[in-house]
Amino acid sequence: MSAPRDAGLDLVLDELFDLTLYQELAKTSSGPLREVLSDLIPVETRHLSFWKSFFKIERSELDWPRRLKLRALLLTARLLGPVGTHLTLEAIEIYGIRKYLALWQRYRDTELGEAVRGVLSDEFGHEDEIVSRAGARRVDPERVRSVFLGFNDGLVEILGAVSGFFAALGNARLVLLAGVSVAAAGAFSMGSGAYAAASSEDEVERLERGRREFLGKEPGSAGGASPAAIGWLVAAFYLLGALVPLLPVAFGASTLLAPVLAGAVFSVLVSLVLSFLSGMNARRRILLNLAMVACAVACSFAVGCAARRLFGLAF
């Protein structure tokens, strides 16, 4: 199976994007982070030269989608500082590994497969070591997961609740009051659930460290965020997600249209961030999240309509 030229162009543009991103980030970084970027730049330069030579493609400019993505990532890094830069580096690393693994599995018995094997060795070895070097300053993935878990759950759950309340009550003020009550209860429930789950996991890890220490083995590193911190993060960002469908109602929306549109827009934004951080296909993640939002709205609206008819609600 021969590799299509489009695949070669994508590889060249991806490596050019990574190289340009690292060069721009290095200009505004300092200390250990700048050293990490300075070590990554030669790696990406080598990858870019290799793919240009392999596919005989000379390309020195990014296409417009990658230019737009580059500006967005640089802006995020400037706003969030070192945290944003570390998130970006780890996300780029995850994306690169997923991409090259998929290519290797598809073309493993071809010349391209052997070429990808060499690049993957860099990704799994040298490049991963560089990105992971500043261990104390790495972003805790558990915190990031808790942030987006809480926000996404708050958005979807409260948008569904608001949909049902509009169908059952038909009164924006009552919808707002009911929605706020559900959001408060949901934040407490999500936060306490996250705390309980993290506490159980923390206890298991503590026992495992004790077992390894008793056997004379390396005990391993302690976990990242504390269970209490995870619980508070999930609860706080659940409330932020809940505000997305509630704010349009608070500012005068009298129908379901504005909350649904706000929910859909933020669902797409959250999906883009999550897909970038996890290396998942962005289109697939967006469609999945929008499908969940649509199901929540449709099911809750149907239940609200049934309740209105069954109980003869009128306000």
pTM of the model: 0.72
Least confident of 67-71, 106-110, 163-167: 106-110
Label residue 310 by pLDDT band (50, 70, 90): confident
Sign of CA dihedral 4, 6, 9, 10: negative
Query: What local confidence, expressed as pLDDT, does residue 5 receive?
Result: 58
**Distance between CA 109 and CA 297 in Å, rounded?**
48
248-276 mean pLDDT: 89
Query: What local confidence, expressed as pLDDT, does residue 126 receive?
Result: 52
Q: Count each helix (H run) and each strand (E run) in the chain, helices first.
A: 11, 0
SS3 content of the chain, % helix, strand, coil (to 5): 85, 0, 15
Which DSSP symbol is given to 126?
I
**Distance between CA 18 and CA 93 in Å, rounded?**
10
236-261 mean pLDDT: 93
Query: What local confidence, expressed as pLDDT, does residue 263 receive?
Result: 93
For residue 189, the tally of other CB atoms under 10 A from its CB is: 15
